[in-house]
Amino acid sequence: MAGLRGALLALLFGCSGVAAVWPQPQSLSVAPAGGCRLSAARFRFGYANSSAVVAGCAVLDQAFQRYWKLLFPAGQKDPEKGHFGDPSCGELLVFVTKPGCDGYPSLDSKENYKLSVSDEQMFLSADTVWGALRGLETFSQLVWRADYGTFYMNKTDVVDFPRFPHRGLLLDTSRHYLPLRAILETLDAMAYSKLNVFHWHIVDDPSFPYESMAFPDLSWKGAYQPVTHVYTPSDVKTVIEYARLRGIRVISEFDTPGHTLSWGPGVPGLLTPCYSGPKLTGSYGPVNPILNSTYQFMGKFFAEVSAVFPDVYIHLGGDEVDFTCWKSNPKIQAFMEQMGFGQDYRKLESFYIQRLLDIVSSYGKGYVVWQEVFDNGVKVKPNTIIHVWKQTPVTYQKELSNVTKSGYRALLSSPWYLNRISYGQDWLAAYQVEPLSFEGSPEQKALVIGGEACMWGEYVDETNLTPRLWPRAGAVAERLWSNQTVRHVQDAYTRLRDFRCTLLRRGIRAQPLFTGYCDYEFNTL
């Protein structure tokens, strides 16, 4: 650690003008000489001849506009000054092999790309528009500005693709409501770091801000404030489309049977009444799993959710179910006896979740569940994704081993709870995680499809969301995108420091990594 501290102290000269890429590409070659000079008056993005995707594709047309503005911010001078004889970069030509622009990214979407810059031309090729988006981001980070203000692109060759297909970020919008603008800003920063899944933990015990068309009382009676602190159908559509245009999937989470206190006021009879001895206490526990009305409601509600959120997967939660209220309820006790469950309330939880999974499957959806569903022996479909988040009673490495040994795909979040903070270089703990450091066969490790950084909202709202996330979430992004061998901490610090400066320049309030400065401090342009 002393060596690392010395290395960090040696780097306190602020953000340099020489470009660095975050996350690190699979193969990157940047020549010290050659390349060309970029001018706002001359440089353009365009489609290569014979590209399967051409002008009229909103995903790339809008990306061209966004990245041009990022390269040449409004009001920033564009001097024509440069070294004598510097060639001018005229156009980055983009070639996409496969047609398709109107759909949504998926778990199976290809994100590979190749980027080549020489004295003669600049060329970006990708199998899909989603890969082209990743290539545009890399291109934007490779452009650098000389001291006298001129932009340059060195001679460069990049061959790149993600290590894992699922690279996510969870936002909790129940414990503190996050306004739409905060979510959209987060999606921008995710695209800058090549994260591709927005896990929207939209409701929980404290509030129900999702405005349901089928059950409007859920938000009217369950949100903190039913007018100002809700996500309307229009808001949800905006988030989904904004994410799509950046190659980001939106996976909604409606966690049951626990974490559902905010559901109760809008759906009388949904939650379990709690008892103290023979008397009702007036409080409620998890969803009542013994009533037919529960499943009738869930059927209608998830029919709506399945229609609103286009991704194939829905996150159904299933974590931290407190059995105390179920144990106190005489009707549930009688049901347990009738079903032969004894006193094993995990079997009752499994009874509920299996029926819920059948409902969701009937709408053609796949599902992600928290690890308790697996731990409690619920019978789930082979294509179920198990989301690992706990550190105890076993390590997440052991949990990953158990999940994949059973043949299920897995996501990792246990070491990436970014709502937990500490003083100093706490990005290092996230960066040094290796998702595949568990005992298992190559076939088991192939079942780990990625992971997610999580930002839970107990102490996070719009005021501190962005600086708490960035650039620390970038550490998770590189671990999930780059080659497993990319682990050199000093190099990572240099590039992450520069990436933080890039985020500031783009209007993202990323917190400092260390003492120093950026050429473009936040909101000074």
Q: Are 520 and 501 spatial neighbours (Cβ–Cβ below 8 Å)?
A: yes
Which of the 8 DSSP states describes residue 177? Answer: -
Which of the 8 DSSP states describes residue 102? Answer: S
Give 48's contacts (C-beta < 8 A, 6+ positions apart).
Answer: 93, 94, 95, 123, 125
Q: How many residues does the chain have?
A: 525
Give 138's contacts (C-beta < 8 A, 6+ positions apart).
Answer: 21, 25, 113, 115, 158, 160
320 is catalytic: yes
Identity at 477, one-letter amino acid code: A
Backbone angles phi, psi at 423, to 5 degrees: -75, 140
Identity at 498, one-letter amino acid code: D
β partners of residue 448: 410
Using CB atoms within 10 Å of the CB of residue 423, give its burial: 0 to 12 exposed, 13 to 18 middle, 19+ buried. exposed
Write out the DSSP string of 476-493: HHHHHHS-TT---HHHHH
β partners of residue 122: 92, 117
d(CA 323, CA 308): 32
**Residue 279: C-alpha distances to residues 258, 270, 327, 332 (Å):** 22, 19, 14, 15
Q: Please tell me whether the peptide bond between 393 and the residue prior to it is cis, using omega within 30 degrees of 0.
A: yes
d(CA 159, CA 483): 12
Q: Are 289 and 229 spatial neighbours (Cβ–Cβ below 8 Å)?
A: no
d(CA 145, CA 18): 8
Give 97's Cβ-side CA count (13 Å radius): 10
Which tokens is 346 given? Answer: 């995990």
d(CA 209, CA 492): 38
Of the candidates 320, 436, 299, which has an alpha carbon nearest to the alpha carbon of residue 369? 320
d(CA 299, CA 215): 12
Of 80, 241, 320, 434, catalytic: 320
Which active-site residues does the annotation give?
Answer: 320
